Structure 1
Amino acid sequence: MVVLNPSTEFKTAANASNAKLSTVNAAIINTDVTSVIGSGKNNFMMTNAKGKLEPTKITDTGGSVDVEDIDLVTYPTAGEAENKPQQLTVDRVAAKVRLFADANYTGNSIDVATVGWALNVTNKKYFPMSERSKTWMETPAAGGRGTCVSPYDIWKFGSYRRDPNFDGQKTSMTDIGVSPYTDNYEFYTQADATITGKWSDATAGPSTGPNASKIPALYCLENTQEEADNYQAYTTHVLLKATIAPTGLTLPNNGGVYNGTTNSDADVDDSGKIISGKDWIKVGSGYYSYGLLIKYIEAELVSKYKSDDSDNFPTSLTTTFNTYLTYLKGKSVAGVDAVALLTKDAFTTQYGSNDSEIEAGAKELADLFKQAGVSTHGADSYGSVSYYKGGDSYYTIMIKHDNDDNNTNNMLGEFGVVRNSVYDITINSIKNPGYPTIPPPDTDKKDEEEEAFLSIEININPWTWYTQGVDL
C-alpha cells in the first residue's frame, strides 16, 4: 500500500495501530475533508488506485483483460532498483463536485436573484484505500453496458467503491437526529440557512450572470451505498439555495396587475413582481404577497356570502390557508389563530345583506387572516401552503454516478460520489420554487423519487491519475 500526503488522522491511526490496515480503517472517523485535500486544496492525500493491494500484472488477451497480483521485487542496491521501477497508480481520496448554470435558467413567473449551494449528507469516515465494485450498468447480467466505463479502471474491477457506510444504513441509521447517524454523516439543518461560510457563493468568478460562472468546486469524502440504501438520508447530494421572486402578480377577478404602490404593499413593485428578498406565500400553484393573499380571500368570501347557497359555497383558498393557521397554532406559534367563518345567517346578522354590506363584512373577515405571527414565524410549509421567508428556496439535487438510461430506478451505483472523480451538475432551468426550509435528510425518500423541480444535466469527469515509480 502506498500513501502520498497522508492526513494527520491517518498517520496517527497507522502509528498507533502498528500499521494494521483493519485498525487504521476503523480509527479514521469524524474526518475533516480539509485534512485529505490540504487547506489550499493542493495537498491531496492519495492511495493505491486499484482498490486492492498492488503491484499488478495486466495482460490484454484480445478483448479481455487478465489481472494477476504479483509480488514486490526488492534489489540489493538502490541503483538496481532505480533501473527497474515498479509502476503503481494512486487516487485522490476526496471526490469533487462542481455546479454550473445556464445564464438564462429563470423559468416562467419567477425571477432568480441569487444562488448558493452546498454538499449535504457527507461522510465522516473513509477507507484509506477502498475496494472497487461494478455498478449495475457495468454488470453484463443486468442487460446494461456490461463494461467498466472509467478510462482509468484498467483492471476492469468497476468504477464504484465501497466506503465505510456502504451497507446497512437503512436498517441501522434510521434516526437522523442521534447516533449512529450523527457519528457517520454531516448534514444541514435550518439552523445553517443563514450561517456565513456554509454556502458557496454562486456569483463568484468573472461572469456577470447570477450563476453563469464556473463555481469553485466543493470536496467531500467518498460516499457510496448498496442498492437497498439508495435513500436521500444516506446519499451525498447538492443542496441548492435560491432567492425566488414571483412575477406578474394580478388582482382577483381579472382585476389587472397587482401594483405595489397603488395597493400600498411594500413587498411588491409597480410591475407586479415580489421585490427580491421579500417574503411571499405559495398556496397550491398560486404565488402571493401576504397582502395580495388577503385580497383573494376577501374576494372568495364576497362570492360566498352573495351566493344563494352560501353555506355550501366552496372556499378552497380561504379554507386551505385557515388550515395552515391551525397548523401554526398547533406548533404554539405566538400570535396565530384560526379564523372561524360565519354561517350566512350569522354573517347577515352581523354585517347586513346588501352588496355593499357584504363587501365590507367580507373585507373585515378577510383582514382577520393577516396575522403578525405568520410573518414573525417565517419559513414553513404545511399541506399546499408554503411561506418563503426572504424568498429563500431550497432544492435537493441527487448526484448520479452511473447515469442510467434504461428507465430503472435506484440501482446499484446510480448515485453516490467516488474518490478521484469530478461530478459536474448543470442547472438548465429553475421553473418552480423549491422548499421554503432546508429539507432534512429523509430516511423514507428514495434517491430517484424527488419531485422534478429542476432540469439538470450531470456528467462525470475522471481526474488525471498519477503514475509513480517506487523504489523498495
Structure 2
Amino acid sequence: MGKLKFFGLLLAAGMFAACSDNLENAGNENDGPKTGEGYVKVAINLPSVSSSRAFNDGTIGSLDDGTPDEYAVKDAILVFFKTTSTTGDGTPEATAQFAKAYNVSLNPAGEDVDHVTNRHTVIGEAPLPADGEKVYALAILNVNGVFTVDKANGVLKKNGNNVFESTKTLSALQTAIATTAAKCTTTGFMMLNAPLANTTTTSGFALSNVKTLVPVTVYESKNLAENGDVASIYVERVVAKVTLTGFTYADSKYTKTVTADSGDPFNGDKVEFEGWTLNYTNKTLKPVRDVDAITTWLGNDYGVVSRFLGDSKVDGKDLYRIYWAKDGNYDVSYGGTEGSDAKEAFNVFTKPEDITTWNTNTADNKTDSEDYALYCLENTMDYDKQVTNQTTSLILKTKYIANPDAAGTGDQNFFMYGTQEATYTQTQFLTNVGTALSLSGGTTASLKVGATGGTYTYIPSGATAGAGDYLNKKDVKNLIELSSSADLSDAQAQTLITKLGEIKFYKDGDSYYNVVLIRHFYDDETSWDAGETYGTKHLGRYGVVRNNWYEIKVNTISGPGEPTIDDDTENPNPDDEEEGYIKCQINVLSWARRSQSVDL
C-alpha cells in the first residue's frame, strides 16, 4: 500500500517570542503614554524539520516542500490587537482587542532554499501601545481580495464588510466565509497564523495553552525596529491539497489492469484513467483554524491523544502542532433532499454532466503528482457526523474495457445485472432479455435509441424516478424496446427486472468509482470494527484539514465501478460502510505529506 502523506507549511523565523515579557513600547523610558504609529519587525520562514509523528512501520519521513507556487507570497496584511493588565495578557486570543490593520510590503526576493522561498522579513507599521498595553499580531498572506484594509481608519474588511471594531477580539474573524478553494488560491495561497500549543502535558491542558496571536515589540522608529527583536509568525495555508497516483503511463494513456482472484471474470480486464475530481468539498472557510475544542479532544474518551497534539518542537521552541480542527459546519447534521442544507453546504456532484472540469492527470511514470493537485477547503465533522454526504471524497472517471483482446481493446457497451459477478456484451445481454421475456414470433429486443448509462429497474406508474427507493435508478422501459420500436409494457418491465435483477448499463465502457473517502487519521489511531457505531475514539477518522497534503494511491482495482455517479445526499451511509468495495490504508506523516492507498 502507498503512503498518504501530509504537506505542512509553517512560516517562522528565529524565536516565537511567546515567552517574551518585553512587549511594551521599546522607545525611551519615562516618556509617558505613546500614541500614533510605531514599527515592528516580523520574519516569516519555512520549516526545516519534520514532525515526530511516524508512519505505521515506525519510520519518520522527511518534509516535502511542495511546489514554488504553494510557497509564493504576493501580498500581506498585519492585524494588531492590544491587551492591558485589566483585560488579561495570558489569553490574548480571547481578550486582546482589535487595534489596527496595515498593508505591509514584503521582501520581494525572500531568502531561497532549493526551489522555495525560505524567509520573508517585514518591517512594518504598528500601533504604539500605551503604558501597560501589550500588542499581538495576526498575519494574513495572499489575501486574494477576500480581505482589505480601509486605509483611512485601519479597519480590516472581509468581502467588503468590517471585520473588527475597537472592542472586537479574534473571534470576530472566525465567522465562516462563503468562499471557494479557487478564490483562496488565485493569487497565491491564502495563509494565516497557525494555532500552536505551548505544552505537551495533557493533564490540566487548557485552551490558554494554545497560542494563535503572536506577541510583538513595537518601536518608535523604523531604525529601532530594524535593529530590534524579530517576532516570528507561524502561518499555514487555508486549503488542503489532494493528489492521485497509482496508474501506469504508457502510449499517452494512464491504465491499470484489474486484479482479482484467479478465475474471477473481471481478472485481467483493463481500466483506462480519464479523470478525477473531488466531491463534497466545503463552501465555507473559518479564516483561522478553529481548535477551541482541543481540551475535549485530549480527554480520555478520545483514545490516542497523540493524533491531536504533536510532541515535536517547532524550531526547537516549546511550541507544538495541533492536528485537528473544527470547520464552520462541524456540528451540523444535514438532510439530503434537493435544496437542503447538504447541497447548500457542500459542492456536490450528482451526475457526470454536473462536473464541468475533470482533472485529467495523475503522476506515475511522469512528473511529480504535486503538478496535478486539486485543492479544497477544510472539511471536518464530529465523530457522529462521519457520513458520505458530508465527507470530502474523490470520484474517478474511467473507461472500463471488459474482456480485452490482444490489442487491448474489448467490449464497449457492456452490462451487469442481478447478483451476477460478470460482464455481458450487448449481444449477450439482449439475448438474455429475449429469453427472460419469452419473446417469439420474430419479436426481438434492442437498446432504445438515446439510452444512457446507468442503473435500470422497474419503476411503477406514478413512482418518481431518481428519488426514494428509486434514487440513482432509471426506468428499464427507457433502456429496452421491442421490434418496431414498441415500448415494454409494465408487466414486461416488471418481469424483466424480476428475472434478471437491476441492470447496470456501462455505455461506451464509462465506469465511475464514486466514493474514495479521504481519511485523516490512521486505522490504529481511530480503529473501527465492522458494524461498530462511531464513538469519540473515531473522531478524525475521516475529513480534510487545512495545510495537509492527501495523496491518494489507487493500489488495486477489482472490477467495474458504477455506470454513473451516484447521488447519496438523500440516503447517506456511515463512511466505513462504503469500505466494502473501496478499501483504504493510510500512513500518516504529519505536516509533510500523507499517502493513501485504495482498492476499488
Output one character per residue of 1:389-428: Cα deviation in whole Å (capped at 9) or x when no partner: 2222222101110122233565211111111100011101
Aligned counterpart, 1:424: 551
Aligned counterpart, 1:398: 517
| Residue pair 2:205, 2:295 contacting (<8 A) in 1 also | no
Asked whether 1:17 is paired with 2:144, we answer no
Q: What SS is found at the alignment partner of 1:35?
A: coil
Aligned counterpart, 1:44: 189
Q: Which amino acid aligns with 1:162?
A: K
Query: How high is the sequence identity, in percent, across the aligned residues?
Result: 28
Whose helix fraction is larger, Structure 1's or Structure 2's?
A: 1
Asked whether 1:336 is paired with 2:477, we answer yes
- After TM superposition, list the pairs within 5 Å mapping 1:315-464 onto structure 2: 326-327=458-459, 336=477, 384-395=502-513, 396-405=515-524, 406-408=527-529, 410=534, 411-442=538-569, 443-460=571-588, 462=590
| Residue pair 1:187, 1:441 contacting (<8 A) in 2 also | no
Asked whether 1:123 is paired with 2:282, we answer yes
Output one character per residue of 1:441-463: Cα deviation in whole Å (capped at 9) or x when no partner: 44531111104334444345555
| Residue pair 1:281, 1:386 contacting (<8 A) in 2 also | yes
Whose strand fraction is larger, Structure 1's or Structure 2's?
A: 2
Aligned counterpart, 2:428: 292
Flag structure 1 segments of 5+ consecutive residues without an equivalent. Answer: 249-268, 306-322, 340-366, 375-380, 466-472
- Partners of 1:338 and 1:147 in 2: how far apart? 50
Deviation at 1:432, TM superposition (A): 1.6
Normalising to structure 1: TM-score of the pair? 0.66
Q: Which amino acid aligns with 2:145?
A: T
Asked whether 1:8 is paired with 2:145, we answer yes
Aligned counterpart, 1:316: none
- Partners of 1:272 and 1:205 in 2: how far apart? 20
Q: 1:144 aligns with which of 274, 298, 304?
A: 304
Aligned counterpart, 1:166: 330
CA gap 1:153/1:424 in 2 versus in 1, 3 angstroms? farther
Deviation at 1:147, TM superposition (A): 5.2
Q: 1:100 aligns with which of 226, 245, 251?
A: 245
- After TM superposition, list the pairs within 5 Å mapping 1:296-315 onto structure 2: 296=432
| Residue pair 1:423, 1:461 contacting (<8 A) in 2 also | no
- Partners of 1:158 and 1:334 in 2: how far apart? 50
Deviation at 1:185, TM superposition (A): 1.1
- Partners of 1:73 and 1:157 in 2: how far apart? 24
CA gap 1:273/1:162 in 2 versus in 1, 3 angstroms? same
Q: Which amino acid aligns with 2:562?
A: Y
Aligned counterpart, 1:354: none
State the superposition RMSD in angstroms. 4.4
Q: What SS is found at the alignment partner of 2:234?
A: strand
- Partners of 1:219 and 1:426 in 2: how far apart? 17
Flag structure 2 segments of 5+ consecutive residues without an equivalent. Answer: 1-137, 149-156, 249-255, 261-265, 441-454, 466-473, 489-496, 594-600
Q: Which amino acid aligns with 1:446?
A: P
CA gap 1:142/1:191 in 2 versus in 1, 3 angstroms? closer
- Partners of 1:143 and 1:454 in 2: how far apart? 26
Q: What SS is found at the alignment partner of 1:291?
A: helix
Q: Which amino acid aligns with 2:578?
A: E
- After TM superposition, list the pairs within 5 Å mapping 1:80-229 onto structure 2: 80-82=224-226, 83-103=228-248, 104-108=256-260, 109=266, 110-132=269-291, 141-144=301-304, 146=306, 148=308, 155-156=319-320, 158-168=322-332, 170=333, 173-192=334-353, 196=356, 198-202=357-361, 207=366, 216-229=372-385
Q: What SS is found at the alignment partner of 2:458?
A: helix
- Partners of 1:337 and 1:199 in 2: how far apart? 28
CA gap 1:424/1:49 in 2 versus in 1, 3 angstroms? same
Aligned counterpart, 2:72: none
Deviation at 1:431, TM superposition (A): 0.7
Aligned counterpart, 2:92: none
Asked whether 1:73 is paired with 2:233, we answer no
| Residue pair 1:100, 1:214 contacting (<8 A) in 2 also | no
Deviation at 1:160, TM superposition (A): 0.7
| Residue pair 1:432, 1:453 contacting (<8 A) in 2 also | no
Q: What SS is found at the alignment partner of 2:544?
A: coil
- Partners of 1:407 and 1:191 in 2: how far apart? 32
CA gap 1:436/1:151 in 2 versus in 1, 3 angstroms? farther
